[in-house]
Structure 1
Amino acid sequence: MSSPLRVGLIGYGYAGKTFHAPLINATPDLSLVAVASSRPADVIADWPEMAVKTDPAALITRPDIDLVVIATPNDTHAPLARAALAAGKHVVVDKPFTLDVAEAEGLVDAAREADRLLSVFHNRRWDADFLALRRLIDDGVLGRVTEFQSRFDRYRPVVRRRWREGDGPGAGLWFDLGPHLVDQALALFGMPTAVSANMVVRRDGGMAVDDALVVLHYPTLRAVLAASMLVSGGTPRFLVHGTQASFEKHGLDEQENQLKAGLTPADRNWGIDPLPGTLHRWVNDRPESESVPMPRGDYPAFYAAMAAAIRGHGPNPVPAQEAVAVMRVLEAAILSAEHNELIQL
């Protein structure tokens, strides 16, 4: 059996520490061998034997690294990914892929020229509730979907002092949670014909968008995507209506909380969502509802598929071209909100 692919992780903030490092470590065919971080003590506290660099270039140029994972502030994604591809590495970029479509397309070209795999960590394709919804749609249980409502809310009334909530490039809720909402919608329904959006700052002292309402327009479908920092509860994560039934799901997938608590995919409770969904439909002219159990969430599937793709044994789990499509919608929504108009795609 061949040795595991060697991985270098750039960035050890929330995304690197909570998601990437433990998921890479849980993948049998991957070995995390180096981390580049401006806070090396944080890395050593969690991974005492890890090789740690403060300069990303020192990690990128290591000849023994096969895959570079980029989990840094959003405005650094494109230059770091370009440098890693130029060094002959396969690359995974945390969401959002880049700051705009032009940067995203440039990276796709760079990956093609380097003949290396380029993928984006759209992990919420493997949320338990999304997997359940996708199965219902694929199996025709809902009929033709006519309205898709997807919300990703938090209750954080006090602005935190961190780059995600500052006024720099790539900050704000739409760049943070928008990629999840958009990627899931495109995975289900493809590209919309137009986008309309409203984005505002609602919190006292807020410096970046903290409330977004975006509508993706399709010929026979309306997809409503929303995210807010001022929702303490009461709204469904998904509410989907079709010609035969409706699906309702409350609560968020548990895998992020499990990772924060130190659980690993080896835990017997990994990926279990305790809140079932509800299927609503009419039977013999009477409304009926039934519980829809959730499958296990499966974030580990991303890195397992990435390793297989590098080996030539399977497809890229999230092709960069699909992430470019997400960037097109993100960018169109920003333009719509700025000009208060419908943006055609």
Structure 2
Amino acid sequence: MTETVTDPVTFALVGYGGGARYFHAPIIEGAVGARLGFVVTTNPERAALARAEHEGVRVVASMAEAAAAGARAVAISTPAATHTALTDEAIALGLPVVCDKPFALDAASAGRTIEAARAAGVLLSPYQNRRWDSDLLTVRRVLADGELGDVVRFESAFERWDPTDPPAAGGGLLRDFGAHLVDQALHLFGPARSVSAQARGADGAETDFRLQLEHVGGVRTELSGSWKQSLPAPRFRLTGTRGTFVLDSPIDVQEEVLLSGRTPLSEGAAWGAEPRSRWGALALAGGTVRRVPSEPGRWPDFYTAFAAAVRGEGPVPVDPWDAFGTCVVVDAARASIADREVVHLKD
């Protein structure tokens, strides 16, 4: 956190609900080469909260006003149904844009927005911050070490208990939780050739879902998202020809810390560190079992990389076409639920 950049990118954060307040604002402020300069909201209570929590941040009513006042990029964290229109507005203003998940409500909308950004020469990246979760970074290291042999099955669960109904602002649990779970699976194992899915609850109002993906490379993935699960499944189970890796912790430590009011700036070098009690276990075929130290979570790396891209120093952290691929799988899952059939995807 001590590294500095002489030309930090000033972001305007669009929205100041729970997602913007906890998962964007403090992450932007903790990212090297980025600064939070503006919050865009017309809600008086949220405007007052933003001013109270971020000294020096200017609250404005529109992206255009933020751009005129010096914003160099925007981050959109608003209800899911508004993502496409607001992202398109940012592109029309020529502002590099980060859009929270779900990037769009369907693949067709995602594709149109990505093509609009390409035609305008505007940088665009979906906020898939959970590629920098402690647990996923640990899984990537375990895969790279090769002790599991050839991976045959990947199980990933994002389950929790909440007595309320899932918020409508997320676009439905499959689009909301599913955007992270599907993105992680495709990021690890490449594109899927088939999708099968089941859900409880109507489209856009699911309380839980399950997806089965067969990846082009042969790995089979099982994804589970639940809003009302009192005994969550392990976050990850990775099975190979020579062993299995299991990580039980249902929630990344960064989420816990942010919701408690601590931030990357307040935590410094301790940011993202998982306690030993939450490390995963690696069991090899000969009966050997050992704990595997968790990688530190690094959500600020997303905004560090995006700010660098704005300065012309590298690519965006997540390719927008990855969000299109995720939307394709989620659309297929919705079709599979409706028709009770396996959906086969084209190349």
TM-score by length of 2: 0.91
* Backbone CA RMSD of aligned residues: 1.8
Aligned to 2:48: 41
Aligned to 2:257: 258
Q: Distance in 2 between matches of 1:259 and 1:209?
A: 26
Q: Say how many residue pairs are matched.
A: 332
Deviations 1:156-207 (A, max 9, x none): 13326x433xxxxx522112211110010000111110100001129xxx98
Establish whether residue 10 from structure 1 lines up as the match of residue 17 from structure 2: no
Checking the alignment, whether the CA contact within 8 Å between 2:11 and 2:73 is kept in structure 1 is yes
Aligned to 1:224: 222
Aligned to 1:307: 307
Aligned to 2:151: 145
The offset of 1:234, in angstroms, is: 5.0
Question: 1:10 is aligned with what amino acid?
Answer: V
Could you tell me which of 196, 200, 209 is aligned with 1:212?
A: 209
More displaced stretch, 263-272 vs 75-84: 263-272
Aligned to 2:139: 133
Alignment of structure 1 residues 75-94 onto 2, 5 Å: 75-94=81-100
Could you tell me which runs of 5 or more consecutive residues in structure 2 were left unpaired when the two chains were aligned: none
The offset of 1:55, in angstroms, is: 3.9
Checking the alignment, whether the CA contact within 8 Å between 2:201 and 2:208 is kept in structure 1 is yes
The offset of 1:63, in angstroms, is: 5.5
Establish whether residue 179 from structure 1 lines up as the match of residue 140 from structure 2: no
Q: Distance in 1 between matches of 2:61 and 2:15?
A: 10
Alignment of structure 1 residues 46-85 onto 2, 5 Å: 46-59=53-66, 61-62=67-68, 64-85=70-91
Deviations 1:101-158 (A, max 9, x none): 1111111111111111100110110111111111111221211111111000010133
- SS of the residue corresponding to residue 8 of structure 1 reads strand
Checking the alignment, whether the CA contact within 8 Å between 1:67 and 1:89 is kept in structure 2 is yes
The offset of 1:27, in angstroms, is: 2.0
Establish whether residue 163 from structure 1 lines up as the match of residue 168 from structure 2: yes
Q: Distance in 2 between matches of 1:318 and 1:207?
A: 25
More displaced stretch, 66-75 vs 35-44: 35-44
Q: Distance in 1 between matches of 2:237 and 2:9?
A: 40
Compared CA separation, residues 87 and 207, structure 1 to 2 (3 A): closer
- SS of the residue corresponding to residue 233 of structure 1 reads coil
More displaced stretch, 206-215 vs 16-25: 206-215
Q: Distance in 2 between matches of 1:72 and 1:304?
A: 22
More displaced stretch, 228-237 vs 247-256: 228-237
The offset of 1:253, in angstroms, is: 1.2
Aligned to 2:270: 269
Could you tell me which runs of 5 or more consecutive residues in structure 1 were left unpaired when the two chains were aligned: 165-169
Whose helix fraction is larger, Structure 1's or Structure 2's?
Answer: 2
Aligned to 1:282: 285
Aligned to 1:235: 233
Q: Distance in 1 between matches of 2:58 and 2:271?
A: 29
Aligned to 1:245: 243
Checking the alignment, whether the CA contact within 8 Å between 2:20 and 2:77 is kept in structure 1 is yes
Aligned to 1:198: 198
More displaced stretch, 183-192 vs 138-147: 138-147
Checking the alignment, whether the CA contact within 8 Å between 2:211 and 2:222 is kept in structure 1 is yes
- Percent identical: 39
- SS of the residue corresponding to residue 119 of structure 1 reads strand
Aligned to 2:188: 188
The offset of 1:14, in angstroms, is: 1.0
Aligned to 2:291: 291
Checking the alignment, whether the CA contact within 8 Å between 1:263 and 1:270 is kept in structure 2 is no
Question: 1:128 is aligned with what amino acid?
Answer: S
Deviations 1:77-118 (A, max 9, x none): 111111111111100000111111111111111111111110
Q: Distance in 1 between matches of 2:149 and 2:315?
A: 29
Q: Distance in 2 between matches of 1:264 and 1:45?
A: 16
Checking the alignment, whether the CA contact within 8 Å between 1:40 and 1:54 is kept in structure 2 is no
The offset of 1:276, in angstroms, is: 0.6
